Amino acid sequence: MIIISFVAELKNQLSKFLALVIQWEEIEVRKHNIPIARVVPINPKRKNRTVPIDLEIMEEAYSLPDHFHQDPVDRIIVAKERIFSCSIVTADNKLLEYPHVQTLW
């Protein structure tokens, strides 16, 4: 997927966009809605690692600390982050506000 950003937005939120590139996304930079550059991962041949949903993840998903909403997909995402110590790249306020996960955005 290619994410479109304008120069000013990229300049003001560079760390956010670089976090997306680290996750193997491409950023198309535009000025006056004209594409002028593309920011891409250095090694685009690298494959993302997929992690199957197993019993450990499901147990973590339904024993999260404090109150967390009941969306099962969000619970699984949070459980994977906690087990594998990775960051969640999200704009979802429910995930961003949950104090027991590391998020980027």
**Enclosing H/E stretch for 103:** strand 103-104
What is the model's pLDDT at position 83?
Answer: 92
Tokens of 76: 């699984």
Do 88 and 61 have their domain in common?
Answer: yes
Has residue 44 got a pLDDT over 90?
no
Do 28 and 69 have their domain in common?
Answer: no
What is the model's pLDDT at position 4?
Answer: 92
Query: How many other C-beta atoms lie within 10 A of the C-beta of residue 62?
Result: 13
Count structural domains, the chain: 2
- Do the domain assignments include residue 23? yes
What is the overall mean pLDDT for the chain?
A: 87
Quickly state the pLDDT bin for 52 (edges 50, 70, 90). Answer: confident
- Do the domain assignments include residue 47? no
- Do the domain assignments include residue 26? yes
Do 62 and 28 have their domain in common?
Answer: no
> Greater confidence, 46 or 15?
15
Do 94 and 61 have their domain in common?
Answer: yes
Tell me the residue range of the domain where 6 lies. 2-39
d(CA 45, CA 16): 22
